Amino acid sequence: MGQVLVSGKINNIFINGKKETVKNVDHDITLLDWLRNSLKMTGTKEGCAEGDCGACSVIINQENNSNLKPINSCLVRVGQVIGKNIVTIEGLGDDKDPHPLQVAFSQENASQCGYCTPGFIISGVSLLNSDKDINDNTINDAFSGNLCRCTGYSPILKAIKKVTKDKVKIKQKYFKEETHDIKLGNVTYYHPLKIEELKNLTKIRNFRFLAGGTDFNLQRPIINEKENNIICLNSIKELNFIKKFKDKMVLGGAVTIENFLDSVRSKMPELIEILQRFGSPQIRNQGTIGGNLCTSSPIGDLAPLLMVLNSDINVFGKNGIKKTNIKNFFKGYRKNILKKDEIILSIEIPYPNKINKIFSWMLSKRYDQDISTISLAINIQTQKNIIKEIQMAAGGVAATPKSLDKLCKSMLEKKLDDAIDFATENLDKFIQPISDLRGSSHYRLEAMKGLFRRLQICLRQDKESLSIMEV
C-alpha cells in the first residue's frame, strides 16, 4: 500500500479545484469513504450506502465547468475516478461566500436536521447549471434520488425556485483529466483510452470489466485472486458515442443512461418516462447501457424495451465484432452470450414506425428509486381497432427478460378487446413467474394481467400521455 506511481504519474483526483493524491487506501475504498476518512471532508454523508438516499451525492465536473453531473459517491470506487474532477459540498461555498442555493436553503428553512441537505444542494446546483428549464417536472426529477428524513420537501422546492440560473456557476479550477492506471493494494485498475488496448489487457490473467459499477459496487464483493485486475471501460472513446441515422440510433456500450435519455427526447419521446424511472439522476449519470444489459438481471428495465424495438447488440472481442439480436443475448439467470474477453461495443435501436405506439411500464413498491417487480414493454400498431403489429417483452416473469413472441402471434388480426381478453385468460400458458420477496407468482401473474388492461385503456382513449400514474 502507500503512494503508488504508475508510468511516472502521481495518482491524483481533483477535488474542488485542488489536486489530492490517493495514498494509503485499500483497493475497494469508495469515493465517499476516501473523502470522509482520508480528506476529512465530512460534508458528504452516508445514509443508505446503496444509492437510494442521495446523502452521499457529489458532482463529476466535466468539460470545464459546463457539464456538472451528480453521482452517488457510495457506489464509486476511488480506482474508477483517478484523474477526474470532483466537486463536493465543501467546494460550493462557505460561511463567508456561500452558494446562492445555500443562501436560499437558509432563507426558506429548508435544512431542517441538515443531514440530507448537502445531497439536495449538490443535486440542485447540478440542475441549475444544466440547460434544463426550472419547473416542477425537472425539479422533481433532479431530486428523485434525494430523500429527506424530516419529510419537509416544500421549503426545499421553494428554495431552488428562488434561485436564478445566472448566478449559480461554480468557481472551481478545472483540471485536464489525467486518467491512467492505478494499483491499490493487490488490485490494479486499468483505464484504457482506445478499444484496441483491450486486446492486450485481456491477455492478463484474473481480470473483470467494469463500466459504471452501480450494480457491482452495490454488492461490495471482495475481489479475490481470480479478479484482481479491473479494466474500466468508461474512458474508451469507441464506447462513448451516440449516432442518429435516418432509420436508427446507435449508442456505444459505455453511454450512460442519462445521455441515452437525452438522446431520445426528440426521436423517441415515448421512452422518457421509463428511462427516468430507471433510477435517479445520480444512478443514470453513472450506470451505462452496456453495463445494465451485461448484468442480465431478469428485472433489468432496459431489456424489455430494447427487445420490442428489435435492437441489435454489437459484441467486441479478440476475434473481432459480431452482431446479435437482443432476444438472443440472455442465456439464463444473470447469464448472457458474452465470453470473458468480450464486451458490448454498441447497441443499434431502430426507430419505431410513426404509426406504432410504444408503451413501457414497470410496477414497483414505490414509484421512484425502486427495483421493479414486473415490467412490460409493448410496440403495437392498430388499424380500425384491429391489431396489425405487436411486439411485447416482460421482466420479472422468468429467469431472463422474456420476449412474448408466441402470445403476440396469437393476438394478431384480432380486435383489441378480444385480443386482451385472450391474453389475460391464457397468460399462464405463456409466462410462469417465480415467487420471491418482491412478489408471489400469483401476484406477478395478476399484475401482468392488469398491465394488459392498462394497454387496453390507453389504446381505447388514444392517449398521448403514457404515464403509469395517469391510467
Question: Quick one: pLDDT at residue 466?
Answer: 44
Residue 373 and residue 344 share a domain = no
DSSP, res 148 = -
Instruction: Indicate the residue among 351, 386, 419 that finishes a domain.
Output: 351
Q: Report d(CA 438, CA 354) in Å as an integer.
A: 36
Residue 421 and residue 272 share a domain = no
Q: Report d(CA 444, CA 188) in Å as an integer.
A: 43
156 domain-assigned: yes
Question: Quick one: pLDDT at residue 198?
Answer: 92
Which pTM was predicted? 0.90
185 domain-assigned: no
Q: Report d(CA 329, CA 312) in Å as an integer.
A: 9
Amino acid (1-letter code) at residue 173: K
CATH of the domain at 245: 3.30.465.10
Structural domain of 403: 357-471
pLDDT tens by residue, 211-258: 999 988 887 655 554 567 899 999 999 999 999 999 999 999 999 999
Q: Report d(CA 187, CA 351) in Å as an integer.
A: 42
Question: Quick one: pLDDT at residue 9?
Answer: 53
pLDDT tens by residue, 99-137: 999 999 999 999 889 999 999 999 999 999 998 999 999
CATH of the domain at 6: 3.10.20.30
Residue 373 and residue 326 share a domain = no
Question: Quick one: pLDDT at residue 339?
Answer: 95
Run means of pLDDT, 10 residues per run, the chain, 471 residues: 42 93 90 97 94 95 84 95 95 92 94 93 95 92 91 91 84 84 89 92 89 84 63 94 95 96 86 85 95 92 94 94 97 94 97 91 75 91 94 94 96 96 95 86 94 91 51 43
pLDDT tens by residue, 39-57: 999 999 999 999 989 999 9
pLDDT tens by residue, 168-188: 888 888 888 878 899 988 889
Extract the C-alpha cell encoding 189. 485498475
Going through 74-222 in order, the beta strands assigned E by DSSP cover 85-87, 182-184, 187-190, 207-210
Question: Quick one: pLDDT at residue 221?
Answer: 55
